[in-house]
Amino acid sequence: MSALLVLSFLFFSVAAAPALTLPSQAGSEPLKSQHFQIQEPTMSLELRDGRPDDATVLGRICFEAFKDIAHRHHFPEDFPSPEAASGLMSFLLGHPKFHAVVAEAGGQVIGGNYLDERSAIAGVGPIFIDPAAQGQGAGRRLMEVVIARAQERGLPGVRLVQVGYNNQTLCLYSRLGFQVREPLSLINGTPARIHISGYDVRKATAGDTDACNRVCREVHGHDRAGEVDEAIRDGSATVVERQGRITGYATSIGFFAHAVGETTEDLKALIGAADQITGPGILVPTRNHDLFTWCLDHKLRLVQQMTLMTMGFYQDPTGAYLSSVLY
C-alpha cells in the first residue's frame, strides 16, 4: 500500500490545467467568509508559500507525521520512507495547479498543506505538522489559509477526504465549517477484468471531454474539467458507453483519481475493465450498497474508512461515483 501511494501521486501530469470552470447551476455561490473564524495559534508561527527546495524537509515531516498517527491507531504507514514522501512533495511543489503553504516556527519548517486548484471545486491536502509541534494551532492555521485562498479566488467550494480513525481531524475540519457528506470505504485488490454486456469501456480521447464533463455536471452539479483534461492527456482516463453514448468516465481507477457514472452499472463496468487499482485503493461511497457489495463479491478487500467533507457548494449526487483522495 505505502509504496503505491507515492507512485500513484506521480501519475499526475505536471502540465498546466485549463482555467477554472465554475458550475453554471444556480446556487453555486462563492465560499463565504463566515464559514470559519480565524483563531490565533499558541506558538509564534510564520506561513509562506511553498518552494521547490522545501521538498526534502517537508517530505521528512510528512513521513513522520503520518507514521506517528498511523502507529497510534495500529494502521500501516502511508509512506515507505522519508525519501518517498519527499518525492511526492517535490511533485506537488512543482505542479502549477497545486498551491503549497509552509508553516515555520522559530525559523524551522514544521509543516505544510496543499490546495488542489485543477478544477472548479478545490481539494485540500495532504496536511501535516511535525509531531513535536502538533496540538498548538499550526494545523488549524494551515487549513485557514487555504480556505481563505479559495474564498479570495471566488471558488464555489472546498473539499477534502478525512481519514476515518483520526478524531482530531474530524473535529478540526468540522469546526472550520466542513460538513460530513459521505462515508467512504477504501477498497483494494485486483480488478475482476470483466465486461458487462451493453457497457463498453474504452480509453478516453480529447474528443470525449465535453461528454465527461456533462456526466459530472449531471451527477454532481459541477464538472472536474481540469482533472479530466489532465487524465486524458496522461492517457489514464477511460469512458463507458451505452448504445454509443458516454454514460460515465474514470480519470483512472485509483486513490488519486475519480470516476462518475449515470448509474452504478456504469461504475462497475469502469472498475471491472481496469488493469489495476492505482495507489492504496478506490474510495467507494459506502452507502452505495450495490457498488460496495459488488466490489466485495469481486474479491476486493476493505482497507479502512474515510470521510468526504465539503464546505460551500454541494449537491447530493444523482448518480454513482468514486471519490479521489481529495474529493
Ligand X SMILES: CC(C)(COP(=O)(O)OP(=O)(O)OC[C@H]1O[C@@H](n2cnc3c(N)ncnc32)[C@H](O)[C@@H]1OP(=O)(O)O)[C@@H](O)C(=O)NCCC(=O)NCCS
* Residues forming the site for ligand X (CB under 6 A): 39, 65-66, 69, 127-129, 134-140, 162-163, 166-169, 171-172, 175
Under DSSP, is residue 152 helix (H, G, I), strand (E, B) or coil? helix
Q: Which residue has the cell 459506502?
A: 286
Which residue, 65 or 267, has its beta carbon nearer to ligand X?
A: 65
Which residue, 87 or 139, has its beta carbon nearer to ligand X?
A: 139
Q: How far is the CB of 159 from ligand X (least distance, A)?
A: 12
Element (H, E) at 2: helix 2-9
Distance CA 291, CA 293 (A): 6
Position of minimal CB gap to ligand X: 139
Q: How far is the CB of 228 from ligand X (least distance, A)?
A: 25
Q: Which residue has the cell 464538472?
A: 223
Under DSSP, is residue 304 helix (H, G, I), strand (E, B) or coil? strand
Distance CA 321, CA 187 (A): 14
Cell numbers describing residue 48 = 509562506
Which residue, 61 or 300, has its beta carbon nearer to ligand X?
A: 61
Q: How far is the CB of 113 from ligand X (least distance, A)?
A: 8
Amino acid 254 reads G
Which residue, 78 or 227, has its beta carbon nearer to ligand X?
A: 78
Amino acid 244 reads G
Q: How far is the CB of 309 from ligand X (least distance, A)?
A: 9
Q: Are 308 and 323 in contact (CB under 8 A)?
A: yes
Q: How far is the CB of 128 from ligand X (least distance, A)?
A: 4
Which residue, 171 or 180, has its beta carbon nearer to ligand X?
A: 171
Q: Are 103 and 141 in contact (CB under 8 A)?
A: yes
Point out which residues pair with 101 in neighbouring strands: 49, 113
Distance CA 21, CA 169 (A): 29
Which residue, 20 or 311, has its beta carbon nearer to ligand X?
A: 311
Distance CA 50, CA 112 (A): 8
Which residue, 69 or 146, has its beta carbon nearer to ligand X?
A: 69
Cell numbers describing residue 173 = 475540519
Q: How far is the CB of 85 from ligand X (least distance, A)?
A: 11
Q: How far is the CB of 144 from ligand X (least distance, A)?
A: 9
